[in-house]
Structure 1
Amino acid sequence: MKAALQEFALQAGFSKVGVCKPGAVPELAERLAAFVDAGHHGQMGWMADRMAWRGDPSALWPEARSVVMLAEPYTPEHDPLAVLQERDRAAISVYAQGRDYHDVVKKRLKKVGRWLIEQVPDAQIKVFVDTAPVMEKPLAQAAGLGWQGKHTNLLGRDLGSWFFLGAIFTTVDLEPDMAEESHCGSCTACLDVCPTDAFPAPYQLDARRCISYLTIEHKGPVDSDLRSLMGNRIYGCDDCLAVCPWNKFAQDGRDARYAARDDLLAPPLAELAMLDDTSFRARFSGSPIKRIGRDRFVRNVLYAIGNSGDDTLRHVAQGLVDDTDPAVADAARWAVERLSA
């Protein structure tokens, strides 16, 4: 059954499949508690609210006997760091340049889940894609898909860094795979490249300093000492992923829906700053960017404008100093001050 399941999942579009038991990572609860107790979760209160489920997958669904972890690559065809040199343009994380992965991966997971139910009629399943209290990365390591590198992201010897994870919890008792071990060695490329020093130590992340967190999860104004370090990154950050040497083994993305849209590859900051709520929703329909809303997005764009050093963008920021959103207005004033210095 397990071999047939893996074969079907690969035919369905996934690149790697592994299995672990719900209780395969007993130290999860302790690791999560330490992360939250240190305040490293920032404003992500949902991480603290559901610690019991997140720290113990068997508590999330006691009837589950196996966790099937699946990987789907979205490897970029371009150098994601090149746009950082184009200071009048926006750097958007690779995963958000195409179709929203939540929708694509979940449909594929459901297809695999339906197949499993057809083979085992009394089977039950639950599918998860980054929206439930499930710690996918540790479970994926337990299932042998890869390991959490020093940047805490998952990477694999045959996958590189660029892949999404999906999980199928099931009542079917499947033989678990062998957990993967770390193969980072003495490399510290991911730690050294971080613009904001978000890693207190190898294998530890302080989300409060992470640009992905600051541009996506953080509400309100960003601390002034961090704004200047964000550069032109307006949604996420790929630096620690992009420099990983294991990417030479990365698999090509199979789904064309993940390919970068032309208007999201390196869009002009001036153009993005002018978006109102309606035009923002229209432009980012079907994109994960839509979830952060216009105000947070334009706030990020204004930080990038302030970091651009391009005086021709000052009038763009000036036009938003009286924006109805306080964080946007604050970011606009900061950008004008930076460009006027």
Structure 2
Amino acid sequence: MMLPELQHAGAAYDLDALAVCIKSWGIELGFADVRITDVDLSHAEPGFMAWLEAGYHGEMAYMAAHGTKRTRPAELVPGTMRAISARMNYLPAGVGDDWRKREESHAADTAVISVYARGRDYHKVLRSRLQQLADRIQKEIGNFGYRVFTDSAPVMEVALAEKAGLGWRGKHTLLLNREAGSMFFLGEILVDIPLPVDAPISSHCGQCSSCIDVCPTQAIIAPYTLDARRCISYLTIELHGSIPVELRPLIGNRVYGCDDCQLFCPWNKFAQRASVDDFDVRNGLDSASMVSLFAWTEQEFQRLLEGSPIRRIGHERWLRNIAVGLGNAAAGMRGDAGIVAALRARLDHPSEMVSEHVLWALQQHGA
């Protein structure tokens, strides 16, 4: 779709037609939906500041490091007038309709890794395609001010996506969509073009509290309020030190992230499959045994997880997480010879943190 005589500096181009084109180009690039919103997040700022004040962000100092820039995009990128918000499905194309049931029934010695992290790093995938979308816009209208974001800077992605009409914020704090559940990534382009905006949609959580009830650590302390310090995704990914002893038994065999609040959300029966193959499972991470992953050397970890989001936690925290999982396997496999042998092989690891978690795991097995 070509637009005649587009000039960014003046009013020679049709903003409505441009918005339609942007959405069409986004779909061509693999996004499931693209919407546009203004960047006034004053409605979200008080709640976010209260969340920080309560300390619910834990060690994620970056959440507070930029002051009001996170809630005021025009301060982050001067001149910003609109946010082009996009979502991209990540549920692998090959999974069957029973995928939720399968995810709920992993064996006790299987490493459970969040679905989103089993393939290629989404940061790279979305950033590349958002940049291509920005390039496409620039090809049509000439130079304009913009900046691309994918969970990599102080931007309130869910708040912008909600305001743009991509969905509503669920009680687990993730974005929900009636046609797609929540198994998707979000990304944005902040632009200095006064594009027409889309309308937000109403919430459809109703009286449902499935996500709150199922959370293993009760991290969702109230509807729409998450204490990240208790969240398994935080504990296995963001936390750099030792996992609190009282929370370890609640983690089970989840070694990287946790999907429970999504698996039990009724809306995810409508989850859509990815239109790109980047999120297909690599290295058998949908069914790998914890013992086999625990045996990876640091070199193997770096090589096998090249291009994976898991790589960011490093080998030390990888071993920490799996040690906890192996310890929790004692609930149904207490004293299992293979698990005990794997743990003992790491007992003298040079990292005190790894050794401590291995010792705890061995104690769970009575070894």
**TM-score per shorter chain, which class?**
over 0.9
DSSP 3-state at the match of 1:127: strand
Find the aligned partners of 1:91 and 1:42 in 2 and give their Cα distance: 23
User: Which amino acid counterpart does residue 292 of structure 1 have in structure 2?
Assistant: I
Match of 2:354 in 1: 328
Cα distance, 1:233 vs structure 2 = 0.2
> In the aligned structure 2, how far is the partner of 1:157 from the partner of 1:60?
31
Q: Are residue 183 (structure 1) and residue 204 (structure 2) matched?
A: yes
CA distance in 1, matches of 2:106, 2:185: 27
* 1:142 matches 2:142: no
Higher mean displacement: 174-183 or 65-74: 174-183
Paired with 1:85 and 1:170, the residues of 2 have a C-alpha distance of: 44
Matched, 1:318 2:344: yes
Contact 1:69 1:168 (C-alpha < 8 Å) held by counterparts: yes
TM-score, L = length of structure 2: 0.90
Where does residue 255 of structure 1 map in the other structure? 276
Find the residue that maps to 1:160 and give its secondary structure.
Answer: coil
Structure 2 contact 82–195 (Cα < 8 Å) conserved: yes
C-alpha distance in 2 between matches for 1:82 and 1:231: 16
Match of 2:6 in 1: none
Distance (whole Å) between structure 1 residues aligned to residue 352 and residue 233 of structure 2: 21
Q: Describe the shift of the 1:80–1:219 C-alpha distance in structure 2 as closer, same or farther (beyond 3 A).
A: farther
Does 2:324 align with 1:303? yes
- Pick from 253, 257, 265 the counterpart of residue 286 of structure 2: 265
Alignment of 1:96-175 (within 5 A): 96-175=117-196
| Equivalent-residue separation in structure 2 for 1:17 and 1:104 (angstroms) | 16
Which residue of the other structure, out of 60, 72, 83, is the alignment partner of 2:76? Answer: 60
Distance in 2 between the 1:255 and 1:80 partners? Answer: 20
The residue aligned with 1:16 is 33
In the TM superposition, what is the alpha-carbon distance from 1:68 to its structure 2 partner? 0.3
Larger radius of gyration: 2
One-letter code aligned to 2:20:
A
For 2:113 and 2:247, how far apart are their aligned partners in 1? Answer: 18
The percent of aligned pairs where both chains have the same amino acid is 39
Query: Any idea what the Cα deviations from partners look like across 1:296-335, whole Å, max 9, x if unmatched?
Result: 0110000000000232211211222221112111100000
SS in 1 for 2:148: strand
Structure 1: distance between partners of 2:190 and 2:256: 31
| Runs of 4+ with deviation above 4 angstroms | none
> CA-to-partner distance for each residue in 1:94-119, whole Å, 9 max, x for gaps?
00011111111111101110111112
Q: How many pairs does the alignment contain?
A: 340
Look up the match of 2:114: 93
Deviation at 1:80, TM superposition (A): 5.1
The reply to whether residue 6 of structure 1 matches residue 6 of structure 2 is no
- Normalised by the length of structure 1, the TM-score is 0.97
Distance in structure 1 (CA, Å) of the matches to 2:291 and 2:217 = 25
Structure 2 distance, partners of 1:104, 1:124, is: 22
> Which residue pairs with 1:40 in the alignment?
56
Q: Which residue in 2 is equivalent to 1:290?
A: 311
- CA positional deviation for 1:75: 1.9
Match of 2:225, SS?
coil
Equivalent-residue separation in structure 2 for 1:219 and 1:115 (angstroms): 40
SS of residue matched to 1:67 = strand
Shift of the alpha carbon at 1:262? 4.7
Contact 2:86 2:186 in 1 (8 A): yes
- 3-state DSSP of counterpart to 2:255: strand
* Structure 2 alignment gaps of length 5 or more: 1-17
State the match for 2:14 in structure 1: none
Matches of 1:147 and 1:227, distance apart in 2: 32
Residue pair 1:148, 1:155 contacting (<8 A) in 2 also: yes
The residue matched to 1:295 in structure 2 has which SS?
helix
Shift of 1:185: 0.3
Partners of 1:95 and 1:298 in 2: CA distance = 20
- d(CA) in 2 for partners of 1:201 and 1:290? 32
User: Which has the larger displacement, 6-15 or 227-236?
Assistant: 6-15
Aligned-CA RMSD value: 1.3
Show the counterpart of 1:82. 102
Q: Which amino acid in structure 1 is aligned with residue 25 of structure 2? A: F
1:176-218 Cα deviation digits (max 9, x unpaired): 1111221100111111110000011011000000000000000
Paired with 2:271 and 2:287, the residues of 1 have a C-alpha distance of 23
